[in-house]
Amino acid sequence: MPERVAVDPAPTTGAGRGSVGERPGDARLLAGWGRTSPTIARVLEPDSAAAVDAPLSGERRGCIARGLGRSYGDAAQCAGGVVLDTRRLDAIGEIDAETGVVDVGAGVSLDRLLRVGLRDGWFIPVSPGTRQVSIGGAIAADVHGKNHHRDGSFCRHVSSITLHTPGGVHEVGPEADPELFWATAGGMGLTGVVTSARVAMRRVESAWMRVDTEQHGDIDSLMTALERVDASHRYSVAWVDCSASGRQLGRGILDAADHAAASEVTGRRAARLLRPPPERALSVPPIVPRWAINPLTVAAFNEAWFRKSPSRPGHLRHLSGFFHPLDALANWNVVFGRRGFLQYQFAVDDAHRELVPRTLELLQRARCPVTISVLKRFGPGDPGPLSFPIPGWTLALDLPVGPPALRDTLRGLDEAVASAGGRVYLAKDARLGRDMFQAMYPRLSEFQAVCRRVDPEGVLTSDLARRLGICEDSSS
Ligand SMILES: Cc1cc2nc3c(=O)[nH]c(=O)nc-3n(C[C@H](O)[C@H](O)[C@H](O)COP(=O)(O)OP(=O)(O)OC[C@H]3O[C@@H](n4cnc5c(N)ncnc54)[C@H](O)[C@@H]3O)c2cc1C
């Protein structure tokens, strides 16, 4: 049994240092961003790639990598086992001035990479809705951004990965062992620990985005507009007012954007063309009472948000405001109190677009308030067997835990999504059942075959993997 248990209140604050081999690691209570199902594991902080190997070869109670803890559920937890906190694998190499290719440690955050790159006019190729994601976490979830319809997910921009597995170290890429590479992309850490990767950055002339904002009064109009901007803009995203009902069901705000050229940035902005994102974020005191988040307060907020965002073509917005508005508040996840919150994110193809308005109706009927909702387009799917994107639509909904009907409503939605050939995103999941998971990810046995090859003893596991039986042979 561990001697000392320390709670990790915010996933980004560190535990004791000390490299693997020198110290056994602290027992810590770890949770995901939604703070719903914390468990205790021994946390080790390897300070070099080589230091990852000892726990991988000797750990009998399971082992999993952890980045910045921004997955919502239990993906970066391993109850009773070892969690490898990768934040000390933090080297960033020179960015190739011609190609933008850079070697980065798995523990480097997208925030840091972006700051380093921006000085010379390079931006990260795919950005999730927060910069506080590690390179290892971006690869393990094969994260997508607002440009999936144009550029695919993160691993399409990765040319090689150093992967430490119980069976040895592998240098993999789309050409060198594509099977292991694509299983690692979206494999939620279950094929090994990524220690570094080679990533291609995107050339930009400024840190500013040219944004076309459009207000749409109902879901049909919003979705049609999102489809339209697939062809005209690299980035697109819509905020949906999940409180609006009747003829206004699914009204929302579309932002379609491209990087602004240097010549478009004038006045005071031109003086700091490559201005980095703000260093500091505000901190939220965890004092919001539980009753404060209910359908009425959320509807009032949504009404105000909808009104304050009239249609406005071609305005400039700093990239931090466009890509990462939530990063302005460091720990906004604490406002949901001790019970935490879930994010339900699913993807369906174009033929099943009606699942988007149906989901909004079902949650309204069940009186489950949605605090944040994001609707995006997906382009062609990515090659990984556990890849999340399906060409078509993805809707992500933040849902405070509490409403009595929440569990059954989400279970009903799982069934609707699965029978539409869609799936729920593992990086956001904290509650899916095994039956639904297997229905949603039909290439699971392909993934498991790769896991057996690199980890025959089944050392790599996580709370997510145990809950969903990801590594348990589903073919037998
Ligand atoms: C506000 C917010 C917005 C978000 N927006 C998006 C979005 O737009 N698109 C999107 O795709 N995702 C989004 N996410 C989810 C997030 O990008 C993913 O969950 C990502 O994996 C988190 O990275 P992390 O470093 O925090 O990893 P963790 O949460 O610590 O771990 C996530 C998974 O990665 C594995 N992992 C971590 N490091 C390594 C490593 N070195 N080697 C092997 N496996 C590793 C873990 O085992 C775990 O399975 C968002 C999350 C938040 C909180």
Strand pairing partners for 56? Answer: none
| CB contact burial 395-416 (16+ within 10 A = b; e otherwise) | bbbbbbbbbeebeebbeebbeb
Integer Cα distance of 427 and 203 in angstroms: 28
The verdict on residue 272 lying in a domain is yes
Integer Cα distance of 319 and 43 in angstroms: 34
Tell me: pLDDT of 160 over 60: yes
| Number of helices followed by number of strands (H, E) in the chain | 14, 19
Ligand 1 atom at shortest distance from the alpha carbon of 191: 43
- Please state which of the ranges 30-44, 45-59, 203-217 shows the lowest mean pLDDT: 45-59
Decide if 98 contacts 121 (C-beta within 8 A). no
| Ligand 1 center–CA 70 separation, angstroms | 5
Pocket of ligand 1 (CB under 6 A): 33, 64-71, 75-76, 86, 106, 128-130, 133-134, 136-137, 140-141, 143-145, 188-189, 193-194, 326, 427, 462
Q: What is the CATH number of the domain that holds 298?
A: 3.40.462
Query: What pLDDT does 365 receive?
Result: 96
Mean pLDDT, the chain, integer: 93
Integer Cα distance of 310 and 316 in angstroms: 15
5-7 vs 26-30, strand pairing mode: parallel
| Ligand 1 center–CA 435 separation, angstroms | 24
Tokens 């994601």 found at: 133
In one-letter notation, the amino acid at residue 353 is: R
The verdict on residue 2 lying in a domain is no
The verdict on residue 186 lying in a domain is no
* Inter-CA distances, 423 with 122, 158, 197, 395, Å: 33, 24, 28, 11
Other Cβ atoms closer than 10 A to 279: 7
Instruction: Give the list of residues 6+ apart from residue 56 with CB closer than 8 angstroms, or none.
Output: 63, 164, 165, 166, 192, 193, 459, 460
| Ligand 1 center–CA 91 separation, angstroms | 19
Query: What pLDDT does 292 receive?
Result: 76
Q: Whose CA is nearest to atom 23 of ligand 1?
A: 137
What count of Cα atoms within 13 Å lies in the side-chain half-sphere of residue 237? 22
H helices of 233-272, in order, are 267-271
Tell me: pLDDT of 3 over 60: no
pLDDT band at 279 (very low <50, low <70, confident <90, very high): confident
The pTM is what? 0.95
Tell me: pLDDT of 14 over 50: no
Tell me: pLDDT of 8 over 50: no
The verdict on residue 279 lying in a domain is yes
Integer Cα distance of 443 and 382 in angstroms: 13
- Please state which of the ranges 15-24, 56-65, 253-262 shows the lowest mean pLDDT: 15-24
Percentage of the residues of the chain whose pLDDT score is greater than 70: 93
Integer Cα distance of 55 and 43 in angstroms: 11
Decide if 75 contacts 187 (C-beta within 8 A). no
Q: Whose CA is nearest to atom 28 of ligand 1?
A: 69
The verdict on residue 190 lying in a domain is no
| Ligand 1 center–CA 173 separation, angstroms | 20
Q: What are 193-204's pLDDT values in tens digits?
A: 999 999 999 999
Q: Whose CA is nearest to atom 50 of ligand 1?
A: 129
Q: Which domain holds residue 229?
A: 208-431
Decide: residue 295, CB within 10 A, 0-12 exposed, 13-18 middle, 19+ buried.
middle
Decide if 311 contacts 252 (C-beta within 8 A). no
CA-derived radius of gyration, the chain: 21
- Please state which of the ranges 2-11, 145-154, 207-216, 317-326 shows the lowest mean pLDDT: 2-11
The verdict on residue 163 lying in a domain is no
Tell me: pLDDT of 12 over 70: no
The verdict on residue 106 lying in a domain is no
Mutate to test the pocket of ligand 1, among 28, 70, 130, 320 (most ligand atoms within 8 A of CB): 70
* Inter-CA distances, 167 with 35, 183, 358, 460, Å: 33, 16, 46, 11
Of 291, 100, 284, the closest CA to residue 202 belongs to 100
Of 48-57, 290-299, 327-336, give the range with the top mean pLDDT.
Answer: 48-57
Please report the sign of the dihedral spanned by the C-alpha atoms of residue 92, residue 94, residue 98, residue 103: negative
- Diameter of the chain measured on Cα atoms: 66
Of 34, 27, 36, the closest CA to residue 8 belongs to 27
What count of Cα atoms within 13 Å lies in the side-chain half-sphere of residue 206? 20
Integer Cα distance of 38 and 7 in angstroms: 9
Query: What pLDDT does 286 receive?
Result: 67
Please report the sign of the dihedral spanned by the C-alpha atoms of residue 437, residue 441, residue 444, residue 450: negative
Give me the number of domains the chain comprises.
1
Strand pairing partners for 356? Answer: none
The verdict on residue 179 lying in a domain is no
